[in-house]
A and B are shown apart, each in its own frame.
Chain A
Amino acid sequence: MRLVIDERRCKGCNLCTTVCPYHIFQEGRNLNERGIIVPVLDRPERCTNCRLRHLYGRQLCGACQLICPDQAIFWEEEDPYATKKVVIEY
């Protein structure tokens, strides 16, 4: 599973940054095209729900999704064989 913030819904209240036990949500710095500072995700693969959802077969933790007043946080199914674009610095 992959943690996603829906940029069309988020209003930048930063409530999610206060609840996550791993501090995955960090206050953002840049405005998006709607003029809102959306939080940035710091290594979201650490999220309990991302890691263990399939093992337990149910929603885990989910505190961020519940407290988000704008229904902007959700999880996406990941395709394990998807091609990813990797930027290599050299």
Chain B
Amino acid sequence: MSTETYEKWYRQDRLPHIYCTGCGNGTVMNCTIKAVDAMGWEIDDTIFISGIGCSSRAPGYITTDSLHTTHGRALAFATGVKMANPDLHVVVFTGDGDLSAIGGNHFIHACRRNIDMTVICMNNMIYGMTGGQGSPCTPVGKISTTTPYGATEPVFDLAELAVAAGANYAARWTSYHVAELIKAIGAGLETPGLSFIEAMVQCPTAYGRRNKLRQVGEQVEYMRSHAMLLAKKARLEEQGKEIPEDMFTVGEFVRRYRPAMGVPK
């Protein structure tokens, strides 16, 4: 596979994109395109759907047909697309605010129905586009414009939520772990039923700037050093050791084959 083939997936007239310098969303876009290209899907039978937010601008830079829908409703539109034409390959780009706050209900019901699509959530732990308000994924103690003394609410673990709600595949990686992320997205694209891939991304503008991670490299390094493999967590629990509070888990949470909706016959 040559590198030049990826260029056909990007809309040359739209690049460079609008994302801030060093924003991780671009990396997730690269990984998704690479995984989709490796599946051998064509531009005409793939569709990218998104809601509102920084992450949701991604389909606008991709050559395929796309839907840029209302806030939080990407999954509702995607359900419609998949039910109307099950032969299409549906990929949803969404962000943590879009998916877990405003579209929370759509998310759990899409997982429950197990509709055959791949949902890629770029979790930057904040509402980036609207100016850095706290989202359900802002870690405890972190500063945002709506939590100036530090967030106090417990956070949503989106991958665990997807497992509990019934998705067939759930994984979490970060924008630093590009090779693993591509593998996870590829596995998600292959699995029938709803596949959920959460990609933690750096947001130097809205999140890093307020949380002492102003440089892009610092935030990527933070994600690298604070990611803990699921296997390691299980091992620590088994040994009865304490798990540091600020670590988050990465890895494949579930892969199963529950009956799915919208799988082409």
List A residues at the B interface (Cβ < 8 Å): 8-9, 11-15, 18, 58-59, 62-63, 65-72, 74-75
Contacts and interface: CB of A to CB of B under 8 A. Distances in A.
Interface in B128-183: 175-176, 178-179, 182
Nearest to A72: B16
B27 to A, nearest CB: 5
Contact of A11 (B16, B30, B178, B220): B16
B2 A69 contact: no
Interface string B203-231: 00000000000001100110000000000
A11 B22 contact: yes
Contacts, number: 71
B4 interface: yes
Contacts of A15: 22, 27, 216-217, 220
Contact of A70 (B2, B16, B178): B16
A65 B30 contact: yes
Nearest to B30: A66
A51 B194 CA distance: 41
B248 interface: no
A63 B178 contact: yes
A55 B235 CA distance: 42
B30 A58 contact: no
A18 B216 CA distance: 11
Nearest to A1: B3
B contact face: mostly helix, strand, loop, or mixed: helix
Interface of B: 1-4, 6-7, 10, 15-17, 19, 21-27, 29-31, 34, 175-176, 178-179, 182, 216-217, 220-221
B19 A69 contact: yes
A16 to B, nearest CB: 11
B34 A71 contact: no
Nearest to B23: A69
A41 to B, nearest CB: 16
A65 B3 CA distance: 9
A69 B26 contact: yes
B9 to A, nearest CB: 10
A24 B31 CA distance: 22
